[in-house]
């Protein structure tokens, strides 16, 4: 769960399949659904997000992302970061 600038920047600079690092805290809560069944929810309340993709990786489609080799080394150029 992200709010304010963290949510705005995450929405603006990421897409499905983007590689991100998230810092925050875990929160659990419960509620009763319409059938009276207790529902348990665990969330991460996001304090900060680091964008770990390079520009070339953010332009790949989800299919391309899934086809990359697991052993491929990710090199991040600081000039490619949006912050």
- For the cut 60, the answer to whether the pLDDT of residue 64 exceeds it is no
Tokens coding 57: 């990786």
The pLDDT, as a whole number, for residue 53 is 82
Name the least confident of 2-11, 51-60, 61-70. Answer: 61-70
CATH number of 4-59+72-80: 2.40.50.140
What is d(CA 16, CA 82) in angstroms, rounded to the nearest whole number?
Answer: 17
The pLDDT, as a whole number, for residue 54 is 74
> Taking the CB of residue 66, how many other CB atoms lie within 10 A of it?
9
Domain positions in the chain are 4-59+72-80
Q: How much of the chain exceeds pLDDT 70, in percent?
A: 65
- Partners of residue 21 on adjacent β-strands: 50
């Amino acid at each position: 769960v992200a709010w304010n600038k963290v949510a705005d920047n995450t929405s603006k600079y990421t897409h499905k399949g983007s590689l991100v690092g998230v810092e925050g805290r875990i929160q659990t809560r419960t509620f009763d659904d319409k059938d009276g069944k207790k529902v348990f929810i665990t969330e991460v309340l996001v304090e900060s997000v680091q964008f770990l993709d390079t520009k070339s990786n953010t332009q790949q489609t989800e299919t391309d992302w899934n086809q990359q080799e697991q052993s491929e080394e990710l090199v991040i150029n600081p000039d490619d970061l949006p912050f």
